[in-house]
């Protein structure tokens, strides 16, 4: 009889822990999506936070893990942007569906590659087990002339949902475009 | 006699003590579980409130309006920025070329995809001093890494990575088509596909109506361009005693395989 009560409690504990996990993720995701801080606010917060930590540790110079993590991430991102030419100016994602191993997220992304700007909307389905992602539904918005190379690879990419191919194409095209522009300016 | 009786009483007492201890442990455990349930319920309820409040606020395009009564703690801003950066870095994975500076140089990740499906990713660790060198990599041996390195690694890293990405993506695409064919149309294929590691030569016997007894068509697909996932040369042949209609069909299939992805060709 008591064993049963134990089992009931244990089952409830498991259910609650799961619910808490889902609620926390949901809260953080909405918080992430709808909040936005300017660069100055971020810098100010970093300074305030560092002062807080120093105050807490009463002068012991233990570096904050969070600040360390933040600085590493900023360096990594800066490197990638410089190396690839891709700059993402805004990004938002919203979870549409989360069942078992499957998560479906709607993403909105705007950015540019060198001087070419683009805006994307796509749905990304992630399966936890095979660590694979599938793009379903891709929309690309780019300024281009009808019939131009750009409009061609944009429509082809949208048709096949080839997000990766789009990025690779735009990268080559932008670099070629940049190179051509530089050569032209050089001879002016 | 008496001794036996005393022994029996002793064992009885011992057993009772053991049972008593068990009951007390059980009570303790139950009490602990009950307390934990209560604590979790409280936590869950608080979270539910927070999420409900969020939903009621329904922030507009400008985002969450800062509430002067509840200023956002610096720590929360820092954590927000961390999550924001992590998401942006993950996006680079979708672009096909991603990387991270390391102590000795850079570690690059090349991702592959076939249309909308992302497939395997491959890694290269490069050191940049004194020259650019590949320290470690997970590129399969049948991809001409050395050839591409010789040409571009020292002079134009971006080109090097771009070309490598093309080779890898084409290979991944060909493999994906073959795997999809085997997975979804195995009843139309005799046995298994014969192929090489690079998946640029495929040979198989097949038939069009499903579950047929014989496989009169033999297809041979050669993918001459290593950066392309469509074949450059296709031969579909029939058994020598096949009727003319079949031979005609074979010719049209041949054309189709050259323009349409393998698994999609079988779908139609």
Start-to-end CA distance of chain A, whole Å, equals 91
Which of chain A's residues have a Cβ under 8 Å away from the Cβ of B67? none
Which of chain A's residues have a Cβ under 8 Å away from the Cβ of B165? 168
State how far the Cα of A148 lies from the Cα of B5, in Å rounded to an integer.
105
pLDDT tens for B50-60 read 888 877 765 55
State how far the Cα of B161 lies from the Cα of B157, in Å rounded to an integer.
6
Which of chain A's residues have a Cβ under 8 Å away from the Cβ of B35? none
Q: pLDDT value at position B123?
A: 95
**For A171, phi and psi rounded to 5 degrees?**
-65, -50
Helix (H, G, I), strand (E, B) or coil at B102: coil
Q: pTM score, two decimals?
A: 0.78
Q: pLDDT value at position A144?
A: 76
ipTM over 0.85: no
What's the mean pLDDT in B37-50?
A: 90
The 8 Å CB, 24+ separation contacts for B225-230 are B225/B170, B226/B144, B226/B167, B226/B170, B226/B171, B226/B198, B226/B200, B227/B163, B227/B166, B227/B167, B227/B170, B228/B170, B229/B114, B229/B169, B229/B170, B229/B173, B229/B174, B229/B177, B229/B261, B230/B258, B230/B259, B230/B261
Q: Residues of chain B with pLDDT > 90: what percent?
A: 45
Between A28, A31, A162, which is nearest B116 by CB?
A162
**B61 has a pLDDT exceeding 50:** no
Which of chain B's residues have a Cβ under 8 Å away from the Cβ of A12? 37
Which of chain B's residues have a Cβ under 8 Å away from the Cβ of A160? 115-116
State how far the Cα of A87 lies from the Cα of A115, in Å rounded to an integer.
10
Helix (H, G, I), strand (E, B) or coil at B130: coil
Between B80, B82, B94, which is nearest A35 by CB?
B80
The token pair at B95 is 């672009």
Instruction: Report, in this order, helix, strand and coil percent for chain B, each rounded to 5.
Output: 50, 20, 30
CA proximity to B192, closest of B208, B205, B209 = B205
Per-position pLDDT tens, chain A of length 188: 667 888 888 999 999 998 898 888 888 777 777 677 777 888 888 888 887 777 766 555 555 788 888 899 999 999 999 999 999 988 888 888 877 778 888 999 999 998 889 999 999 998 876 667 888 889 999 887 777 888 888 988 999 999 999 999 999 988 888 888 888 888 87
| Token pair 């807490």 in the structure block, residue | A56
Between B88, B112, B116, which is nearest A161 by CB?
B116
B33/chain A closest Cα distance in angstroms:
6
Which of chain B's residues have a Cβ under 8 Å away from the Cβ of A67? 78
Residues near B173 by Cβ (< 8 Å), separated by ≥ 6?
B112, B114, B229
**For B105, phi and psi rounded to 5 degrees?**
170, -115
Assigned fold of B86-171: Copper Amine Oxidase; Chain A, domain 1 (3.30.457)
Residues near A49 by Cβ (< 8 Å), separated by ≥ 6?
A64, A66, A67, B74, B75, B77, B78
B77–A42 C-beta distance less than 8 A: yes
Which of chain B's residues have a Cβ under 8 Å away from the Cβ of A2? 26, 30
A101/chain B closest Cα distance in angstroms:
17
pLDDT tens for B77-129 read 888 888 889 889 989 999 999 999 998 899 999 999 999 999 999 999 999 88
Closest-CA residue of chain A to B22: A2
Closest-CA residue of chain A to B37: A13
Closest-CA residue of chain A to B87: A91
B85–A74 C-beta distance less than 8 A: yes
Between B78, B116, B118, which is nearest A49 by CB?
B78
Question: Per the omega criterion (within 30 degrees of 0), is the bond before B124 cis?
Answer: no
A67–B165 C-beta distance less than 8 A: no
Q: pLDDT value at position B146?
A: 94
Between B43, B78, B96, which is nearest A164 by CB?
B96
**Residues facing residue B221 across a β-bridge:** B202, B234
> Cα-atom radius of gyration of chain A, to the nearest Å?
23
State how far the Cα of A128 lies from the Cα of A126, in Å rounded to an integer.
6
């Amino acid at each position: 009889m008591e064993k049963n009560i134990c089992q009931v409690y244990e089952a409830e504990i498991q259910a609650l822990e799961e619910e808490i996990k889902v609620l926390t993720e949901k809260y953080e995701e909405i918080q992430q999506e709808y909040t936005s801080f300017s660069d100055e606010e971020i810098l100010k917060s970093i300074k305030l936070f560092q002062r807080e930590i120093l105050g807490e540790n009463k002068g012991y110079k233990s570096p904050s893990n969070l600040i360390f993590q933040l600085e590493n991430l900023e360096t990594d991102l800066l490197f990638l942007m410089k190396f690839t030419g891709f700059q993402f100016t805004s990004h938002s994602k919203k979870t549409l569906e989360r069942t078992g191993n499957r998560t479906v997220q709607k993403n909105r992304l705007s950015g540019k590659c060198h001087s070419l700007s683009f805006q994307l909307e796509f749905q990304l389905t992630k399966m936890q087990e095979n660590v694979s992602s599938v793009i379903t539904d891709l929309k690309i918005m780019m300024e281009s002339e009808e019939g131009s190379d750009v409009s061609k690879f944009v429509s082809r990419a949208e048709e096949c949902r080839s997000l990766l191919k789009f990025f690779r194409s735009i990268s080559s095209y932008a670099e070629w475009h940049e190179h051509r522009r530089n050569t032209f300016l050089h001879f002016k | 006699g008496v001794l036996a009786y005393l022994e029996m009483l002793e064992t009885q007492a011992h057993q009772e003590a053991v049972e008593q201890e068990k009951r007390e442990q059980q009570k303790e455990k139950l009490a602990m579980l009950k307390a934990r349930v209560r604590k979790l319920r409280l936590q869950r309820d608080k979270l539910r409130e927070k999420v409900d409040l969020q939903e009621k606020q329904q922030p507009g395009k400008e985002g969450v309006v800062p509430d002067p009564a509840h200023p956002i703690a610096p720590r929360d801003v820092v954590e927000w920025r961390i999550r924001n950066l992590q998401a942006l870095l993950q996006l680079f994975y979708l672009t096909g070329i991603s990387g991270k500076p390391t102590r000795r140089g850079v570690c690059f990740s090349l991702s592959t995809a076939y249309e909308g499906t992302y497939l395997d990713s491959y890694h290269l660790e490069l050191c940049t001093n004194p020259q650019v060198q590949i320290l470690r990599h997970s590129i399969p041996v049948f991809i001409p890494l050395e050839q591409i390195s010789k040409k571009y690694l020292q002079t134009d890293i971006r080109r090097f990575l771009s070309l490598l990405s093309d080779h890898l993506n084409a290979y991944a695409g060909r493999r994906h088509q073959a795997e999809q064919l085997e997975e979804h149309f195995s009843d139309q294929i005799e046995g298994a596909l014969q192929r090489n590691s690079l998946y640029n030569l495929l040979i198989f016997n097949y038939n069009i109506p499903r579950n047929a007894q014989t496989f009169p068509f033999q297809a041979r697909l050669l993918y001459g361009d290593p950066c392309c996932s469509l074949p450059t040369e296709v031969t579909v042949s029939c058994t020598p005693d096949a009727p003319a209609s079949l031979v005609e069909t074979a010719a049209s299939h041949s054309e189709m395989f050259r323009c349409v992805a393998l698994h999609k060709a079988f779908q139609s």
